[in-house]
A and B are shown apart, each in its own frame.
Chain A
Amino acid sequence: MKKRSGTFYLLMVPVLLWLIMLIVIPHLDLFFKSFRFENDDGMMVFSLNNYLAFFEDKIYWLTFVKTALYSIGVTILAFVVTFPVAFYLTKIIAKKYSSFMVLLLLIPIWIGELVTIYGWMILLGDRGVINNFLIGLGVIDTPIVMLYNNFSMTIGLLYMSMLFMIIPMMSALESLDDSLIEAASDLGASKWTIFRQIIIPYTTPGIASGGIIVFMLVIGDYVAPNILGGKSALWFTEQIYNEFLATFNWNEGAAFGFLLLMLSSAIIWLALKLTGQKLDKVGS
């Protein structure tokens, strides 16, 4: 092995400190704490009780399963909603407008989740803007209940995550040569065939990395389920939040956190396997 210059260590040491102190140790700690349990004598012992509590209480694992399924659902929904937009902005709209339209997509991202979710709360409430508007028009007499349920939660989760999917899909679409589509069309392929046989296979890397980002944002989100979902739409992060900041049962919370981490890692691993992607591609 060749001799290292001092500069190498100058680069290596801070990075190692970052990764070990803030990524490795905290998550190992999370793992160990999740097996700590205070027994009847007030002693801290090694135990599986934190995990048993999760499986014994229906509300915990039901919320867990619901969070997993909803996160997958919202990710698919985000794809369905945003793919046409990504396609339009790369392949259809005149080039001179497209960069401005893309800029508009970035604005809600930078404004931040809390503000935009608050906006949806104002829109969807019983006395909110949409109900007010509909009653004013005479379309309805009594307000439609749109807030504090799974519907409003889904809107919020979709809104705050979907834009992160457009950008990777657009960069995949940009490198798709138009002549491939033209050739298929000349050979008599229908729009649906072109979409299925050319566009989708070609943009799979973009869809996969965008989908993973969306999935992560959704499954780990607290703001949209809590503010827009209210009490009737539970989310697993809310259980973690309660263990840490309401009942102060940190070890139980650690077990929940670890379960959430395992769940998200497993689903992402599966998604990467199914689409034949690598994690470092997701980053770019």
Chain B
Amino acid sequence: MIRSLPCSSLYKNSYRLYIILFYVFLIMPLVTICVLAFNDSDFIALPWNGFSLDWFFANNNDRLGLFKDTDLLLSIWISLKTGFFVALFSTVIGTIAALLFEEEDFKLKGLLYFLALAPLVIPGVVLGISILLSSTFAGTYIENTFGVDVEFLRPSFWLVVIGQFSFGATYVMLLVSARLKKFDRSLEEAGQSLRATRLEVIRLITIPFLRPAIIGAFVVAFLISFSNFNTTIFLVGSDPTLPVDLYSRIKFSSTPVLNAVSFLIVAFISLSAMISFAVNFRKKQ
């Protein structure tokens, strides 16, 4: 049953088989996507017609490869930009929230903490429509009252950033809080007794201690933003993010170029995961 207990080989083998099947189930769609990105075919299907890089580089009547498809490249660029700003804002506010909830005491702390966790239990679609409704309302109100058109209150790049930030900050807060719980408070007290102000203590002692968690949280927030669809779809303006662009292509005009983009994402994620694993592995030894 567990490492130290003996059990029948039938049990052992069928358990092992289940685990293998599980991993096959896990990896199957990813492998399929990647393989078909290199198929010399106009359709996203077998049979295998031979190896081709057309869906990356071709530019002719039949095939428009990823690196020649300016719309697709633009949506990748928009997603990268969105991800960067979402990660930046989420990291700043999420870290501040972690410091606030871990280190300060105040009235209504429980209620505020509950609100900060709320994005975990609000469906992404609901978050999207709520922000769309209230920002549109605020935008119309400002336009009617002051005659000013506030662009970021209409579906647009910045509204997407705002929408994704609203839950990104929660994830950063949780990641940073987890690290802050392991922090030795006496270091802060020592700093304070040496006459550092509260702000200096945070800047010189707490933040450096939190740095690995903050960097990790930045990456997590970026990835959450990069792959988000459910909230983004309601807030997106004329410039779609990559998931929104992929979605409309899947629904209306799918060509193997979708596989080419997906291949890049799969390759990038897998490679980064392997690198971070190797680095951690070496650190441990």
Interface residues of A in 100-125 (CB under 8 A from B): 100-101, 103-108, 110-116, 118-123, 125
In the assembled complex, the Cα of A127 lies from the Cα of B75 at a distance in Å of 29
- The size of the chain A interface, using a CB distance under 8 A, is 94
> CB distance B169 to A129 under 8 Å?
no
Which of B3, B5, B162, B281 has the most chain A CB atoms closer than 10 A to its own CB? B5
Within 8 A of B (CB), among A108-155: 108, 110-116, 118-123, 125, 127-129, 132-133
State the main secondary structure of chain B at its contact with A: helix
Q: Are A223 and B229 in contact (CB under 8 A)?
A: yes
A106 to chain B: which residues have CB within 8 Å? 273
Q: How far is the CB of B39 from chain A (nearest CB, A)?
A: 11
- Annotate A197-240 by CB proximity to B: 1 below 8 A, 0 otherwise: 00000000000000011001001111100110000000001001
The stretch from A48-56, A57-65, A253-261 touching chain B is A253-261
Partner of B227, one of A5, A113, A212: A113
CA distance A257 to B133 in the complex (A): 11
Q: Decide if B29 touches A122 in the complex (CB within 8 Å).
A: yes
Contact with A along B101-132 (1 / 0, CB 8 A): 00010100000111111111111111101111
Check A282 for interface membership: any CB of B closer than 8 A.
Answer: yes
A274 interface residue per 8 A CB criterion: no
Please name all residues of chain A whose beta carbon is closer than 8 Å to the beta carbon of B199 when the two chains form the complex.
6-7, 10
A264 to B255, CA, bound (A): 37
CB <8 Å contact, B277 and A108: no
Contact A114 B247 (CB under 8 A): yes
- Majority-rule SS of A interface residues: helix
Q: Are B169 and A219 closer than 8 Å at their CB atoms?
A: no
Report which residue of A27, A113, A123, A216 has the largest number of chain B beta carbons within 10 angstroms of its beta carbon. A27
Contacting pair B29 A283 (CB below 8 A): no
B130:A26 contact, CB within 8 angstroms: yes
Interface locus among B16-24, B49-57, B64-72, B208-216: B16-24
**Contact status of A85 and B273, CB under 8 A, knowing A185-B5, A260-B125:** no
> B223 in the interface, Cβ–Cβ < 8 Å?
yes
Q: Which residue of B lies closest to A220 (CB)?
A: B123
Q: How far is the CB of B131 from chain A (nearest CB, A)?
A: 5
Is B59 an interface residue when CB atoms closer than 8 A count as contact?
no
Distance between A4 CB and nearest chain B CB, rounded to angstroms? 8
Contacts of B165 in A (CB 8 A): 22
Give the contacts of B241-283 with A (CB-CB under 8 A). Answer: 243, 246-247, 250-251, 258-259, 262, 265-266, 269-270, 273-274, 277, 281
**B91 located at the interface, meaning its Cβ lies under 8 Å from any Cβ of chain A in the complex:** no
Q: Which residues of B contact A221 (CB under 8 A)?
A: 230
In the complex the two chains form, what is the Cα distance from A91 to B25 in whole Å?
A: 22
Structural contact, B166 and A282, CB atoms closer than 8 A: no
The answer, among A22, A23, A120, for a CB contact under 8 Å with B29, is A120
* B190 within 8 A of partner (CB): no
Residues 1-29 of A, flagged 1 when their CB comes within 8 A of B and 0 if not, give 00001111011101110110011111101
Q: Is the CB of A182 within 8 A of B4?
A: yes
B117 and A283 contacting across the interface, CB-CB below 8 Å: yes
Least CB separation from B162: chain A residue: A22
**CA separation between A111 and B266, bound complex, in Å?**
6
A15 touches B227 (CB 8 A): no
Question: Mind listing 26 A-B residue pairs with CB under 8 Å?
Answer: A6-B199, A7-B197, A8-B198, A23-B166, A29-B130, A29-B134, A88-B15, A92-B3, A101-B23, A107-B269, A112-B223, A112-B226, A112-B265, A114-B250, A118-B258, A119-B262, A128-B45, A133-B46, A159-B26, A222-B229, A222-B230, A227-B251, A254-B133, A260-B123, A260-B125, A280-B114
Report A's interface with B, CB cutoff 8 A: 5-8, 10-12, 14-16, 18-19, 22-27, 29-30, 33, 81, 84-85, 88, 91-92, 94, 99-101, 103-108, 110-116, 118-123, 125, 127-129, 132-133, 159, 163, 178, 181-182, 185, 191, 194, 212-213, 216, 219-223, 226-227, 237, 240-241, 244-245, 250, 253-254, 257-258, 260-261, 264-265, 268, 279-280, 282-284
Ranked 4 nearest A-B pairs via Cβ? A220-B123, A112-B227, A119-B29, A26-B130
Contacts A104-B27, A113-B229, A222-B125 aside, 14 further interface pairs with beta carbons under 8 A come to A11-B96, A11-B100, A14-B93, A15-B112, A18-B166, A19-B116, A27-B130, A84-B19, A92-B3, A114-B229, A121-B250, A122-B36, A250-B129, A260-B123
